[in-house]
Structure 1
Amino acid sequence: MASPMSAASFLDVLKGEGLDLVEVGDWRHHNRNPQGAWGPVNGVMIHHTATSGAAATVDVCRKGNAGLPGPLCHGVITKDGRVHLVGYGRANHAGLGDDEVLRAVIAEKALPHDNEAVVDGNPRFYGFECENLGDGEDPWPKAQLEAIERAAAAICRHHGWSERSVIGHLEWQPGKIDPRGFTMAAMRTRIKERLK
């Protein structure tokens, strides 16, 4: 359990991992903090967007929609491997999830199967939306997968977390399938190697 880093530290931590960053608008102050707490933070959550096209994807993740106001994450990782910073603070990305999964993330233990939606994950996780249709056929370019690995590792390194603090949306909330097209087990292995 940790306090969220400042927006300036977040930027520095991601830059320090060698990521190509794009700052979108006043991302440092774009958040859902008036709706509830931001923190303590316990991990990093990875999503796919079910969208196509970098510009449109970044726009929807920043603004959200009528049913779910933005930001929908902290960073959008596009297919070219760039990380677009769209918000910082509480974001509408995790929603309600399994309290047993949260306890496992905090303890950095093996994840149980998610079967409940009882704990608000929005204040608990840093979130990255990744441009992909999520149909299992849309490719995940090498640059994009490396950016996911680097972004998650950067945050884990800062907080002293292991790769076990990185989960997919599908591991948090029943019925979710994202990210689809690679496994979180494989991604955690990559993050573990980077953290060595």
Structure 2
Amino acid sequence: MATPLTADTLLAALKAEGVNVVEYPGWRTHNRNHKGAWGPVNGVIVHHTVSSGSAESVALCHDGYDELPGPLCHAVIDKAGVVHLIGHGRTNHAGLGDGDVLDAVTAETALPAPRRNDTDGNAHFYGFECVNLGDGRDPWPEAQLDAIERASAAICRAHGWQAPSVIGHKEWTNTKVDPRGFTMESMRARIASRLAGAAGRGGSAQPVPAPATGGSGYQPFPGAGFFTSAPDSPVITAMGRRLVAEGCSAYSVGPGPQWSEADRRSYARWQQKLGFRGADADGWPGRTSWDALKVPYSG
């Protein structure tokens, strides 16, 4: 179990994983928190919308309806692979499910068949609604499956979870059949493959690129030891320029190629902007914050 990601940290994690994100106006404060707690969180639940059309599905999940007010999830994943963030906090997506399933997700062990509906899933899960009619015939384009994989992996990576922390709604409760049209076993295999590599790499069917090529146009994370060795490198200059561009400058001069205390203080401001706090915002770069900064490749 874990404290939910802040809105900014969630956004940064999704972007670092290569997710194509659209932010719905007001999504950071759109929630059902007045109905109960959100957190500690234990995993991700994948749903289908039983609807068609991206704009229509996003509006439905954002607003909800009389019997079930919105938001109905944290994000809607459309058939083009775009992830529409619509809520942050408690959302009406999971409903009641089996406490034994929650225990298995928390332990990342084999799931039991859901039999009871005795546990509030809205308090414990992130929810992705995926645009699909749910009739078993409506196709799941590869772009959409890739986005489900990336978005789920982004949350797992940010929390230190593995693929068993991602389940389908039908695995949470015996009253639901979603998602229908692909298996959660196959999706968890994709997520596991992605988590075995670096954030932001290509889809599961593609080889992991060599990290030193800079083919993405961004500097790969050089490792924590690179910074603690006080490097003199053009990578530090490129990093500093990005920090300035993000409004996180603590520089009186520069930035320049020699790692300095001003670099560390500036990077701490970036970590704080992403929502990190305490020891997680000490100014020493980590992979998630580095990937989100998108430092241009410097060779």
If the length of structure 1 is used for normalisation, what is the TM-score? Answer: 0.99
- Rg (Cα) greater in structure: 2
- Give the equivalent residue in structure 2 for 1:49: 49
Structure 1 segment 14-29 matched on structure 2, within 5 A: 14-29=14-29
Cα root mean square deviation, aligned: 0.4
Pairwise CA distance, 1:113? 0.3
2:139 maps to 139
CA distance in 2, matches of 1:55, 1:159: 30
Partner of 1:76: 76
Equivalent position of 2:118 in the other structure: 118
Q: Which residue is 2:183 aligned to? A: 183
| CA–CA separation in structure 2 for the residues paired with 1:190 and 1:156 | 13
Query: Unmatched 5+ residue regions in structure 1?
Result: none
Deviation digits for residues 56-78 of structure 1 (CA, Å, limit 9, x no counterpart): 10000000000000000000000
| Residue of structure 2 in register with 1:109 after alignment | 109
Which stretches in structure 2 are left out of the alignment for 5+ residues?
197-299
* Alpha-carbon distance between aligned partners in 2 of 1:31 and 1:175, rounded to the nearest angstrom: 24
Instruction: Give the secondary structure class of the aligned counterpart of 1:126.
Output: strand
Moved over 3 A (4+): none
Deviations along 1:116-150, one digit per CA (max 9) or x if unpaired, are: 11000001000000000000000000000000000
Cα distance in 2 for residues equivalent to 1:48 and 1:131: 6
1:103 Cα shift?
Answer: 0.3
Q: Distance between the aligned counterparts of 2:175 and 2:93, measured in 1? A: 15
Report the structure, 1 or 2, having the larger strand content.
1
Matches of 1:41 and 1:157, distance apart in 2: 14
- Deviation digits for residues 165-190 of structure 1 (CA, Å, limit 9, x no counterpart): 00000000112000000000000000
TM-score normalised per structure 2: 0.65
Equivalent position of 2:219 in the other structure: none
| Counterpart secondary structure, 2:123 | coil
